[in-house]
C-alpha cells in the first residue's frame, strides 16, 4: 500500500513539474493601429515631444517580442506622418514595462479576468523561483514582491532590449515609461537589478539605444503601490541632456508635488515628461479623491470631491506647475487598454508657454505631439 501511495505521489509530482515547465505561446492578433489625436504647433528644427498612449491588453505581454511589434507599429505610424526626427523625445506611459513580469507565462495568466488570478497562476507555475523570491521579499504585499523579484533579471533585460532597441531603430530619445525592479542601477550601459527594495523606475534611452543617466525612482508611490514598492527622494531627480533640451522625468503622482519641480528648476530643466497610469475605466470624470501616496502640499487648499479627476490633473499636476520648474514644455501620457481588471483612463495632455491642451479621448492607441 505504501508503495502504491509513493508511486501515485511521484506520478502527481512529475505531472505537476511537467505542467509547470510548459510555456506554450498562444495565437493572438493585436490591433497595431494608432491615430494622432493632438498635434500642437508647427514643425520645428528644435524638435518635439511625442507621447504614445498604447492600447494594451494582457496578451500583449506574452513576450517582449510581441509587445515590441505593437509599439514599433505606433512609432512607424509617427514616422510616416513626419513626427520623428533626431530631436524627438518619445514618451511612453507609466508601468508599460512593469507587466513584462508576465512574459513567458502560461496561457491561463493572460486569460485570467482578475489580476489576482493571474498572480495565482504565475505563482503555481513557478514554484522554485517563487520560493526564492518569497524568501527575499521585503514588502507588505509579499506575493507581489516575490513575483517581481523572481522575474527581475529577465524583466530588466527585456525592458532594455525593447526600449533601447526602439530608440536606436527610430533614432529618437525615448522615455521608457516605467518598470518595477529591485534596487536597479545602470553599469557599463546595462540595466542591472539588486537585492534591495522594489522601486517604480523610469529609464531614458538615447538615440544610440544606450541608457542616459540612472533609473529615475518614483518619489511618491501611490497607496496601492506602497505594499511592495518604496519611494525615492526628490533630491535624486535627474535632468538629462538630450538633442531637444534638458529633460526631467516625473513619474505620475510625482508631477503633483511642488518640491519635485523645485528640484528640477535648480538643475535648469527645459522639458518635462510625465509617464502616468490612471486605473479604473471612466475614472477621468469621477470626483477627485485627494492626494494619494503623500501628504497634501501646503499650497493646495482644495478638498477631495471639490474637483473632478480631470480638473485635478489640469490644476494640480503638470499644467498648473510647469512654470515653477522653469521648463518651457511638458507632456503627460497615460497607459490605455484593459490589463486584467485594472481598467485605465486619461486622455493625455501637452503644456507650453501658451497653456495646455487635452488630447481627444476615445478608444484605440493615441499619439500626442508638441512641437518645440
> What number is the average pLDDT over the span 202-210?
98
Q: Which H or E element spans position 77?
A: helix 64-80
Please tell me the predicted confidence (pLDDT) of residue 72: 98
Structural domains present in the chain: 32-371 (3.60.110.10)
Q: For residue 280, is pLDDT > 60? A: yes
Average pLDDT, the chain: 92
Please tell me the predicted confidence (pLDDT) of residue 139: 86
> What number is the average pLDDT over the span 192-211?
97
pLDDT digits (tens, 9 = 90+) for 330-346: 999 999 999 999 999 99
Q: For residue 10, is pLDDT > 90? A: no
User: In the 3-class helix/strand/coil scheme, how is 120-142 assigned residue by residue?
Assistant: HHHHHCCHHHHHHHHHHCCCCCH
Q: Are 345 and 364 in contact (CB under 8 A)?
A: no
Paired residues of 351 in beta bridges: 330, 356
pLDDT over 70, % of the chain: 92
Stretch among 37-41, 259-263, 291-295 having the lowest mean pLDDT = 291-295
Confidence of residue 24 (pLDDT cuts 50, 70, 90): low
Please tell me the predicted confidence (pLDDT) of residue 59: 96
- Please report, to the nearest 10 degrees, the dihedral formed by the alpha carbons of residues 86, 92, 94, 95 taken in order: -110
pLDDT digits (tens, 9 = 90+) for 49-76: 999 999 999 999 999 999 999 999 999 9
Please tell me the predicted confidence (pLDDT) of residue 361: 83
Computed from CA positions of residues 289, 291, 294, 297, in that sequence, does the dihedral angle turn out positive or negative?
negative
Q: For residue 8, is pLDDT > 80? A: no
pLDDT digits (tens, 9 = 90+) for 156-173: 999 999 999 999 999 999
Contacts of 329 (CB under 8 A, 6+ apart): 49, 270, 271, 272, 322, 350, 351, 352, 353, 370, 372
Please tell me the predicted confidence (pLDDT) of residue 261: 98
Please tell me the predicted confidence (pLDDT) of residue 318: 98
Q: For residue 13, is pLDDT > 60? A: no
Please tell me the predicted confidence (pLDDT) of residue 27: 56
Q: Are 34 and 364 in contact (CB under 8 A)?
A: yes
pTM higher than 0.85 for the full model?
Answer: yes
pLDDT digits (tens, 9 = 90+) for 235-279: 999 999 999 999 999 999 999 999 999 999 999 999 999 999 999
Please tell me the predicted confidence (pLDDT) of residue 257: 97
pLDDT digits (tens, 9 = 90+) for 313-324: 999 999 999 999
pLDDT digits (tens, 9 = 90+) for 106-148: 999 999 999 999 999 999 999 999 999 999 998 899 999 999 9
Q: Are 168 and 175 in contact (CB under 8 A)?
A: no
Q: CA 256, CA 271: separation in Å to the nearest integer? A: 16
Amino acid at each position: 500500500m505504501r508503495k502504491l501511495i509513493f508511486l501515485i505521489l511521484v506520478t502527481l509530482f512529475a505531472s505537476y513539474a511537467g505542467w509547470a515547465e510548459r510555456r506554450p505561446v498562444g495565437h493572438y492578433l493585436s490591433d497595431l493601429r494608432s491615430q494622432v489625436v493632438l498635434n500642437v504647433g508647427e514643425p520645428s528644427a528644435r524638435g518635439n515631444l511625442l507621447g504614445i498612449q498604447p492600447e494594451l491588453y494582457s496578451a500583449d505581454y506574452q513576450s517582449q517580442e510581441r509587445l515590441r511589434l505593437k509599439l514599433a507599429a505606433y512609432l512607424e505610424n509617427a514616422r510616416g506622418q513626419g513626427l520623428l526626427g533626431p530631436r524627438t523625445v518619445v514618451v511612453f506611459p507609466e508601468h508599460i514595462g512593469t507587466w513584462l513580469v508576465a512574459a513567458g507565462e502560461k496561457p491561463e495568466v493572460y486569460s485570467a479576468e482578475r489580476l489576482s488570478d493571474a498572480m495565482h497562476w504565475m505563482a503555481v507555475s513557478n514554484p522554485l523561483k517563487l520560493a526564492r523570491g518569497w524568501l527575499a521579499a521585503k514588502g507588505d504585499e509579499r506575493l507581489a514582491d516575490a513575483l517581481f523579484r523572481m522575474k527581475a533579471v529577465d524583466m530588466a533585460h527585456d525592458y532594455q532590449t525593447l526600449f533601447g532597441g526602439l530608440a536606436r531603430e527610430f533614432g529618437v530619445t525615448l522615455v521608457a515609461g516605467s518598470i518595477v525592479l529591485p534596487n536597479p542601477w545602470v553599469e557599463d550601459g546595462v540595466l542591472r537589478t539588486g537585492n534591495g527594495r522594489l522601486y517604480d523606475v523610469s529609464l531614458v534611452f538615447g538615440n544610440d539605444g544606450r541608457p542616459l543617466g540612472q533609473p529615475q525612482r518614483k518619489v511618491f508611490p501611490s497607496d496601492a503601490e506602497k505594499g511592495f514598492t518604496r519611494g525615492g527622494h526628490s533630491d535624486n531627480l535627474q535632468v538629462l541632456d538630450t538633442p531637444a533640451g534638458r529633460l526631467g522625468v516625473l513619474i505620475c503622482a510625482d508631477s503633483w508635488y511642488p518640491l519635485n519641480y523645485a528640484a528640477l528648476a535648480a538643475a535648469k530643466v527645459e522639458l518635462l515628461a510625465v509617464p502616468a497610469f490612471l486605473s479604473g475605466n471612466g475614472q477621468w470624470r469621477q470626483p477627485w479623491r485627494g492626494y494619494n501616496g503623500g501628504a497634501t502640499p501646503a499650497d493646495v487648499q482644495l478638498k477631495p470631491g471639490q474637483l473632478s479627476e480631470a480638473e485635478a490633473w489640469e490644476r494640480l499636476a503638470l499644467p498648473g506647475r510647469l512654470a515653477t520648474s522653469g521648463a518651457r514644455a511638458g507632456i503627460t501620457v497615460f497607459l490605455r487598454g484593459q490589463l486584467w481588471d485594472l481598467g485605465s483612463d486619461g486622455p493625455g495632455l501637452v503644456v507650453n508657454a501658451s497653456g495646455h491642451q487635452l488630447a481627444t479621448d476615445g478608444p484605440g492607441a493615441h499619439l500626442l505631439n508638441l512641437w518645440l
